[in-house]
Structure 1
């Protein structure tokens, strides 16, 4: 059984995680503010500015009108209400897979509801995951750039240093990932909570600049703006979606904090603070249209500019940390799903299950982030690239949610259409609006998502073909066991454990060991590791054993898709003696061929990916001094 959920924290499958002290509701709520809402909490730095800049056609204030300000603020407020509050907080959080959320957890529920694995649900999951990575690349870049750009308001002399300083911050951020976030995680919540309070205060101080901004609560202003401004309105709508970037973290991080703390934090602090800040920015622009250059920082007096830039930078680092950590979790779970190669995964905390570090993913992300900072140079230029990946991911969520509500929750088709279809339509409109930005930077997340989807699709197809080729022509397991036990090959003391992906087939390492070494161990275990469609599996029943003959047995070790498969720990926990055991592993050398298997162009993708995958001893935590590798050559 394959796992199909990729969001949330990852457990290690080792005993030190089993007795973590329970966390209080309010501590979880505070943690939610720091981790879940870090991304959406930095959106006011650029969302309104870029939306109005798109409406006017430039970053100046010459064409700014009262109708534009009221319309765009109204669109932002109602986007927060409809997309985040109603869709995610009220509805999507109900779709939990044993407490876990995320795009591929939704895929799991959809497949469970349909009663089988369907190609379309898997493809939707891979597309959603691919688009998420595009968002992860852009979020740190645009967040840090928008914060550091506040220095230009302190003095224009800082302008040449915005990009270099942003790069230093980002490189430092990625460089310290290997130390883990456990040591600073306790500060995330309080700092981000303070950030939301300061944002609310800044907005509240300026609402009185023009109290007519309160009319933006009426959605008619947003609709009137869209109808009367044509293409400019659609361009502004695409930028409006910047206000809800990070909303997908509500569902993805449900396993970290739980449904109730996420809802409490949103309704009790985050939504009111965001609404007050956007209303304050709008009121200030109604009174002072020239402030469109950077309305967020202009909410604060000149003496507070530098402290606000520092606070904003810290907030954006926290927001970036959250999405980077999410990328590590998604990557590990995608590996468990079989849509990414196995890379090395390191645990950085003995008490926090979600604290993992994937070096390969970390440095690939840093390379991509540096590239787009150098390429786009400003948050305004990056805003054109932002939004497309997020809207695409949300459309996929709505599609999967439709299946879950209809088949899993057993809502009537009419109710499902009435509830889910409006979100789908609204998000399609946002997707179309963001598609207008493709020539101006929107091509970047599209390119990243397409490339990653091709990689995932190729890896999934290649691994399936490789498994088929590797097992072709092998004798049935029962026949092999009868032949082996009746043969006169020498017996050697000890236990040989042969890992295989198919418990019904003869492991390649067993065949080659008998063929070339011409020996058979006293005890032979055919071991299969299964990743189940649940986030975490209880220890009871984790290891099952079936005796096949006097010398052969078949063993299955099960892990949840949120767990790191620590095979020796699981065996020892089941009272299996490993002191005199050796693990026999298959090593395959792959050759490209245009005549069979994958198309040649996919061979040149799959083979390097296979070579880059981590060693199976790392994958299953097998001690190197107990591992024996047996190789073979396969043309694919």
Structure 2
């Protein structure tokens, strides 16, 4: 995810270009497609480790007969076609925010279309934020279930090693999270080739099994899924809770679109991943019908004895790559959430200048602790898969509501055109979610609780910041009036003073406190507001806007996209409409640090006020977040009630 350089060359080239340019474009798409295999498809690619096993030996097992085996294969295959290929690859990936995807990027895109409909916008934002909260729950479960599902091959091949599976999984997970701070730019180059080897391997193993029972190919017909539900509706419905594991990770296609572009992801899915998954599931089905005892782990028992340990190694590497991609995705989503105002400022470290990697310590260590706890509590991947499906199906269902808004409001589809497609998606996703809700007592409550906690924190921060800006605006003084009165009441000293302000109008509290206590003004006074736009990147020509108020008072607005680094000093040095150019050695930055006081004012419940105050106290320093020079910053405190 964040391990990959954003590449603007993936858009379709216009017709009429020379043949060598078309060949270069196709080569670039193929190269990016290999990279996408390593980052985008790790989650869904490792599903064969446990999907078939948990369908027939999980919390709601199916009978191991031809009716149910063929029915489940048919259901999995057509779910991949409808949900992944049609819904995500063909339709949702077209709803990009200037090339970027994901729930938050889609929220920003929809907000622009629903700007006049404030109530509708609010509901859309809440749905998108809850989908983001579920993504964090998925980020906790994926490393645990993927790595554990792979390492459990030890116990399959050597039952005496069963007791060391959990300790080995924990060691791998700890090591995985500890290397994040150093970046994974170098090893990330191997992700694509390793996953190519993995998909090639599971394809060959699947073919070898199909050859011994070719009639299993008939299971790709949709009528086998329909026949299973007619003959055994209750167990067929409950089995959907495990069958959905075949499409886990589908939402990653959309979230990672900005790193690769649509064509490479589509090529990866249609040419490499979908055929490999289909072949392997068919191979597992043929194996189970020939040898029901292989149900202990149909994935690993596909391998001949001489290839068992190499398969264990390849699958383990694939699981680690899948986990790495999810962790990097959590960093990227958090960065977007910070910029869009749903998460407090956090320390963001760039681990690679060339690969654009970021590392967020708070997120990294919180995820590591959560994953280790899940491994320690659930002990087996089959126990964790009960918790896995709800987060995925919940997010996919929310994507349907967002897609409905896109089809109607952004693309202006008529209802007769949109309704059949949306109905198909809603029926399938609601059925999958309902089937997974039956697993709440078995662990499905975990992502729901995690999601609700994170959703509460995201919405509390967003609402608290809005109330703070609202209350500060009520007490603010117009900057033009202040400039005229302050010029004659304070001494002017050399240099430039930059006062950071979150509001778009009025005088920041730090400026008021400075003149009240120090009774001086710098030769040039700049009130600076950083504006995060609803687009991923802002062109340099639109980076800044300047308003002059006389007496060397200026209001500067710096515009950044929600995926950009907010490097304020670098952006200021490009401003040419504010008198002389900015010299950081002659510039002082004044920051306001608010202390919240609990109050009975309407706006938020008292417990949410206390939660918001705690989040505010623990937010990263604005100095670090905006890349301000440490020896040029002055903080002035104030108290505020919301």
- Contact kept, 8 Å, 1:209 with 1:287, in 2: the verdict is no
1:405 Cα offset (Å): 1.1
Equivalent of residue 358 in structure 1, options 360, 363, 387? 360
**Alpha carbons of structure 1 residues 570 and 26: separation in structure 2 relative to 1, 3 Å:** same
Equivalent of residue 280 in structure 1, options 277, 280, 283? 283
Map 1:56-71 onto structure 2 (within 5 A). 57=61, 63-71=63-71
SS in 2 for 1:545: strand
Gaps of 5+ in 2: 7-23
- 1:564-596: CA deviations, max 9, x gaps? 110001111335322311111001122334566
1:212 Cα offset (Å): 2.1
2:614 equivalent in structure 1: 608
**Partner Cα distance (1:399, 1:552) in 2:** 47
**Partner Cα distance (1:521, 1:301) in 2:** 78
2:305 equivalent in structure 1: 302
Equivalent of residue 50 in structure 1, options 48, 54, 59? 54
**Partner Cα distance (1:153, 1:136) in 2:** 27
1:603 Cα offset (Å): 2.3
Equivalent of residue 245 in structure 2, options 242, 246, 250? 242
SS in 2 for 1:208: helix
1:8 Cα offset (Å): 6.9
**Alpha carbons of structure 1 residues 599 and 115: separation in structure 2 relative to 1, 3 Å:** closer
1:375 Cα offset (Å): 0.8
1:518 equivalent in structure 2: 519
2:73 equivalent in structure 1: 73
- 1:496-537: CA deviations, max 9, x gaps? 101101131101110000111111111100111011111111
1:16 equivalent in structure 2: none
Return the structure number with greater relative CO, CA threshold 8 A, min gap 6.
1
- How large is the RMSD of aligned CA atoms in angstroms? 1.8
**Alpha carbons of structure 1 residues 171 and 242: separation in structure 2 relative to 1, 3 Å:** same
1:18 equivalent in structure 2: none
**Partner Cα distance (1:133, 1:434) in 2:** 18
| Structure 1, 274-283 or 565-574: larger mean CA deviation | 565-574
Equivalenced residues, count: 616
Map 1:320-335 onto structure 2 (within 5 A). 320-335=323-338
SS in 1 for 2:298: coil
1:83 Cα offset (Å): 0.5
- 1:138-187: CA deviations, max 9, x gaps? 00000000000000122111100011100000010001000112111110
- Contact kept, 8 Å, 2:476 with 2:508, in 1: the verdict is no
- 1:369-400: CA deviations, max 9, x gaps? 01111110000000111110111111111111
SS in 2 for 1:584: strand
**Alpha carbons of structure 1 residues 125 and 10: separation in structure 2 relative to 1, 3 Å:** farther
2:458 equivalent in structure 1: 456
SS in 1 for 2:522: strand
Please say if 1:571 is aligned against 2:556.
no
- 1:457-512: CA deviations, max 9, x gaps? 11111111122233332222222122112x23211111110110113110111000
- 1:123-142: CA deviations, max 9, x gaps? 01110100101111000000
- Contact kept, 8 Å, 1:8 with 1:101, in 2: the verdict is no
- Contact kept, 8 Å, 1:9 with 1:562, in 2: the verdict is no
- 1:203-234: CA deviations, max 9, x gaps? 00001232221111111111221233233222
- 1:320-360: CA deviations, max 9, x gaps? 0001000000001100111111110000111122x110000
**Partner Cα distance (1:407, 1:53) in 2:** 45
Please say if 1:91 is aligned against 2:91.
yes
Please say if 1:384 is aligned against 2:413.
no
Map 1:359-508 onto structure 2 (within 5 A). 359-485=361-487, 487-508=488-509
SS in 2 for 1:573: coil
- Contact kept, 8 Å, 2:60 with 2:238, in 1: the verdict is no
1:452 Cα offset (Å): 0.5
Please say if 1:106 is aligned against 2:106.
yes
**Alpha carbons of structure 1 residues 55 and 491: separation in structure 2 relative to 1, 3 Å:** closer
TM-score, with length taken from structure 2: 0.93
1:9 Cα offset (Å): 7.9
- 1:417-457: CA deviations, max 9, x gaps? 12222112210111111111111110000000011011111
